[in-house]
Amino acid sequence: MIVLFTDFGSEGPYIGQMKARILQSAPGATIIDLFSDAPMQDPKACSYLLAAYAAEFPVGAIFLSVVDPGVGGSRAAVAMKADGKWFVGPGNGLFEMAARQANSLSKWEINYSDSDVSASFHGRDLFAPLAARLENGLEFEGEPRPVDWESCAQWPDQLGEVIYLDHYGNAMTGISGGFVNPSFALRVNDVYLRSARTYTDVSEGAAFWYVNSIGLVEIAVNQGSAADLLGLKIGTSINFGNC
């Protein structure tokens, strides 16, 4: 399957254009719309989000991932194979956490001619055709690179920030639930929150933190919006400790 992970939004032609380009070469491809509203122009937040969700997919999945504020610039175009799953997209840190968490890893820099690719839409003209080639079991033109090539070693394994806000106003963080003790209080914007198992374990309108269905720490409000109540946005800092 080809899994789409983009910050394009659900409106406009861009996702449809990428799907059309895939299906020209791989008409039988199964295409999964995972995220079209990934944190906009934020490869760092997206790196943690992509790695968490990629872990749920089977070996052989191809993640066509386009969060690319530097499109057409000096950043490389890359392909990566991590634990049998493919990642195709810009070399801007987007695949950092998936690479860091992998047991087996290979990286390539994609070779391409500027004459064949628009300067502003590598998702359609470069990455989608490559994903289709991989779906068809074909090789691609690329230069092997060291596994630590273009790494973002300064990024922490556990990111104490909001990395995604869903349409309910729930706030995912870059922290694994296995990294924190349920007795810890989470502090965000000078408010301390206790943990709960799920929404109905707190009163209506109460804010809390919990470990969500993909294993990340998430901030929520029972029948309300944590983003609105607590003033959360992508990049809002969070901390854990005793209260």
Given this model, what pLDDT does residue 242 score?
64
Contact 22, 88 (CB under 8 A): no
Q: How far apart are CA 58 and CA 30, in angstroms?
A: 13
Domain boundaries along the sequence of the chain: 2-145, 159-241
Q: How far apart are the first and last CA of the chain?
A: 45
| Residue 241 scores a pLDDT above 80 | no
Sign of CA dihedral 201, 205, 208, 214: positive
Mean predicted confidence (pLDDT) in 3-31: 96
**pTM metric for this prediction:** 0.95
Rounded to the nearest angstrom, the gap between the alpha carbon of residue 28 and the centroid of all alpha carbons in its chain is 25
Give 95-111 pLDDT, tens digit per residue. 999 999 999 999 999 99
Selection from 85, 130, 75, 127 nearest residue 106 by Cα: 85
Sign of CA dihedral 127, 94, 48, 42: negative
Given this model, what pLDDT does residue 116 score?
83
Is the CATH number of domain 2-145 3.30.70.360? Answer: no
3-class state of residue 34 by DSSP = strand
DSSP state of 184: P
Give 165-185 pLDDT, tens digit per residue. 999 999 999 999 999 999 999
Mean pLDDT of the chain: 96
Domain made up of 159-241: CATH architecture: Beta Barrel (2.40)
Selection from 104, 79, 84, 112 nearest residue 94 by Cα: 79
| Residue 149 scores a pLDDT above 80 | yes
